[in-house]
Structure 1
Amino acid sequence: MRTKRYGPHKLVTGGLALLLSAATLSGCGLKSGSPMVDDVVPGSVGKGEPLKGASLTVTSKNFSENIILGQMIGLIFKAAGAEVLDRTNLPGSISAREAIVKGDADAMYEYTGTAWITYLGNAKPIVDSGEQWTAVRDADRSHDVSWLSPSTLNNTYSLGISKQNNAKYKLKTMSDVAALSKKEPGAVTICVENEFASRDDGLPGMVKAYGMNIPASSVKKMDAGIIYTQVSKSNSCLVGEVFTTDGRIKSLDLDTVSDDKRFFPNYNAAPVIHSSTYEKYPEIAGLLDPLSKRLNTGIAQELNAKVDVDGQDPHEVAKDWLIEEGFIKEG
């Protein structure tokens, strides 16, 4: 199964968010889904089957990484003795979010930056990743959402460049990109998706924050999925908007530059649980905290590549990795 890759950072605000969430949940929402039938047993987590007798629903957004993470939660719940309903791959961020808030689903992986800006309505990110997670955790209690410990997996924005081009320019940071744009006007051409091109927390804000000299004629707008291949061609865009956990970064042999001024929000993945579910089954933290501690950006790149590059099924990718890591075992 090849899953179309989307980032987790689409912005929907105010009344539009409410309308979209209501429409999504009333339209397709959580009507679909299937029981997880995998024969898995505890490995390093789930010993004693602390969720035996529980009936839990897992969900996710509809891009590869989040589906993989949702499958991991479901498989760990299953190994811990629960009956699990798989309702991952919901359309967009809002529908999955509302499913957790309303208790139509019990658990998923969410991103701190998405929650802080998109759901909670804050204009500016908190620079320190730990402080941002804490602020999100505290603010979301009133929405019946409990946040568990975050991972270092950070699905944030970066700029990608082909290794062939970077052998010439040796760009390591966004400040390096800014310096090149001033030293050699016209050298920095950039591929971005349409939304990123117009958002204050996208290209305009990045250009302003770093003092980049990138005229409109040097900006090429295109679908997100095309950017990676365009950047990989030495005669196309010099740099392009990429997500740091995307598997195509490695498969297309791209370098990424660091956000040295920390302009972009941190999008650390962390499990979110409907609060009444967490109150009933506090053992969930002990099941998922070790998983989040193990996950990181590099692992996400590798797992995402198995789906987006190799065309593997996200469920099988998640299961194979959990077994390899010893979290669960085949029954």
Structure 2
Amino acid sequence: MNLRTSRRGALKLASVAMAGVLLSGCGLSSGGSIPLAVEPGSIQRIPELEGVTITVGSKNFTEQIVLGYIAQFALSAAGADVRDLSAIVGSSTARHALENDEIDILWEYTGTSWISYNGNPDPIPDARAQFEAVRQQDLQRHGIAWTAIDYNVDNTYAFAVNQDAARRLGVTKLSDIPRIVAEHPEDATFCVDTEFANRNDGFPGVQQEYGFTVDQSKIKVLTEGSIYQATADGTCTFGEVFTTDGRIQALNLKVLADDRSFFPRYNIGITTRAELLARYPQLTSVFEPVSAKLTNEELLRLNAQVDVAGRDPAEVARDWMVEQGLVTLPGSAR
């Protein structure tokens, strides 16, 4: 089962263009035009990209859709003719679209490629070593190149507690959990989704790595989206979360440190076909300034604007690009 696809529930994406919808028996649609216009900012026109048609894809969850639009606006500012293929259903489908020339650009996560696409059962704890291993395997096995890797973004698994539990139990890190299991068994309750409950890099692995065991009655299996509210309400003490999900801030949850670096690294980078990057190496200079400004904190804020405030992902992405000075609005003085 795909790591990233199964982790995401229904989203407030009614305003997202239907370009990413699968067409039965026909593969993917050809994509629509970029939804909002931008002009160059710190990202300037690049002569080699002027008029080059580049299709940007994204998977069908909030963070990916926002990142996809960020990539579109960056390319548009650089002069490319951008096509929008947002919200492709399923990580494997998005990856196949990249490999089969249906899309040209896709933000990807190192852990997803390492485990899901390359079939490696054991993640590499060190982020840079994990990226280098992914980069080599993707290039050699699939002809996929990575560029503009961002070590400041790691959308990995985590456990969170509400602020009352954090104060009352004195928990700040995962290695505190064995103490809670031993001294406060009534508080040793966990909310997780179906996949996480059974994966080796999920709850079984957490228990083994951190040295605790809980009875099945202490584990509540919920849909991913409901875990955040259940943790905030105290239905469970420990809730499985993803570290850049905007609901963490909205519900004032405290994320526990993975102090033994158990969870896989999910750093983001731009993936494209190796032949395309060789033809247009300028793509790296388009995306590196974007990656330099993206952090977990920034993505938490952007994701919350969509999932909590209900804003349109394309507007959220464009406004962030303008705020960072990467692009400007049409007609604005520079």
Q: Which residue does 2:69 correspond to in 1?
A: 71
1:134 counterpart (128, 132, 135):
132
Q: Which residue does 1:3 correspond to in 2?
A: none
- Residue 40 of structure 1 contacts residue 79 of structure 1 at CA under 8 Å; is this kept in 2? yes
The change in CA–CA distance for 1:254 and 1:51 in structure 2 (over 3 A counts) is same
- Cα deviation for residue 117 of structure 1 reads 0.6
Runs of 4+ in 1 over 6 A off after TM superposition: none
- Residue-by-residue CA offset, 1:125-182 (whole Å, 9 max, x unaligned): 1111011111111111131211013211110011010012211112111001122112
Return the letter of the residue paired with 1:163: Q
What SS class does the counterpart of residue 116 from structure 2 fall into?
helix
What CA distance in whole angstroms lies between the structure 1 residues aligned with 2:173 and 2:244?
A: 17
What CA distance in whole angstroms lies between the structure 1 residues aligned with 2:78 and 2:232?
A: 43
The change in CA–CA distance for 1:305 and 1:169 in structure 2 (over 3 A counts) is same
What CA distance in whole angstroms lies between the structure 2 residues aligned with 1:50 and 1:109?
A: 22
Unaligned runs of 5+ in 2: 8-21
The change in CA–CA distance for 1:167 and 1:254 in structure 2 (over 3 A counts) is same
Q: Which residue does 1:298 correspond to in 2?
A: 297
1:39 counterpart (37, 40, 43):
37
- Residue 59 of structure 2 contacts residue 86 of structure 2 at CA under 8 Å; is this kept in 1? yes
What CA distance in whole angstroms lies between the structure 2 residues aligned with 1:220 and 1:310?
A: 28
What SS class does the counterpart of residue 309 from structure 2 fall into?
coil
What CA distance in whole angstroms lies between the structure 2 residues aligned with 1:141 and 1:183?
A: 50
What CA distance in whole angstroms lies between the structure 1 residues aligned with 2:265 and 2:26?
A: 30
What CA distance in whole angstroms lies between the structure 2 residues aligned with 1:26 and 1:271?
A: 28
Return the letter of the residue paired with 1:177: I
Q: Which residue does 1:283 correspond to in 2?
A: 282
1:274 aligns with 2:273: yes
CA RMSD of aligned residues (A): 1.8
What CA distance in whole angstroms lies between the structure 2 residues aligned with 1:58 and 1:268?
A: 19
Q: Which residue does 1:203 correspond to in 2?
A: 203
What SS class does the counterpart of residue 122 from structure 1 fall into?
coil
What CA distance in whole angstroms lies between the structure 2 residues aligned with 1:66 and 1:248?
A: 16
Return the letter of the residue paired with 1:198: N
What SS class does the counterpart of residue 108 from structure 1 fall into?
strand
What SS class does the counterpart of residue 153 from structure 1 fall into?
strand
1:95 counterpart (93, 96, 115):
93
Q: Which residue does 1:157 correspond to in 2?
A: 157
Q: Which residue does 2:315 correspond to in 1?
A: 316
- Residue-by-residue CA offset, 1:64-88 (whole Å, 9 max, x unaligned): 0011111111111111111111001
- Residue 46 of structure 1 contacts residue 76 of structure 1 at CA under 8 Å; is this kept in 2? no
What SS class does the counterpart of residue 146 from structure 1 fall into?
strand
- Residue 5 of structure 2 contacts residue 90 of structure 2 at CA under 8 Å; is this kept in 1? no
Return the letter of the residue paired with 2:281: P
- Residue 3 of structure 2 contacts residue 116 of structure 2 at CA under 8 Å; is this kept in 1? no
Could you tell me the TM-score, scaled by structure 2's length? 0.90
What SS class does the counterpart of residue 28 from structure 2 fall into?
coil
Return the letter of the residue paired with 1:41: E
Unaligned runs of 5+ in 1: 1-5, 12-23
- Residue-by-residue CA offset, 1:240-292 (whole Å, 9 max, x unaligned): 10000000000001001011111110000111112222122110000101111
- Residue 174 of structure 2 contacts residue 259 of structure 2 at CA under 8 Å; is this kept in 1? yes
Return the letter of the residue paired with 1:320: D
Q: Which residue does 1:227 correspond to in 2?
A: 227
Return the letter of the residue paired with 1:85: R
Task: Give the number of aligned pairs.
Answer: 313
Q: Which residue does 1:178 correspond to in 2?
A: 178
What SS class does the counterpart of residue 303 from structure 1 fall into?
helix
Return the letter of the residue paired with 1:162: N
What CA distance in whole angstroms lies between the structure 1 residues aligned with 2:124 and 2:60?
A: 26
Q: Which residue does 1:14 correspond to in 2?
A: none
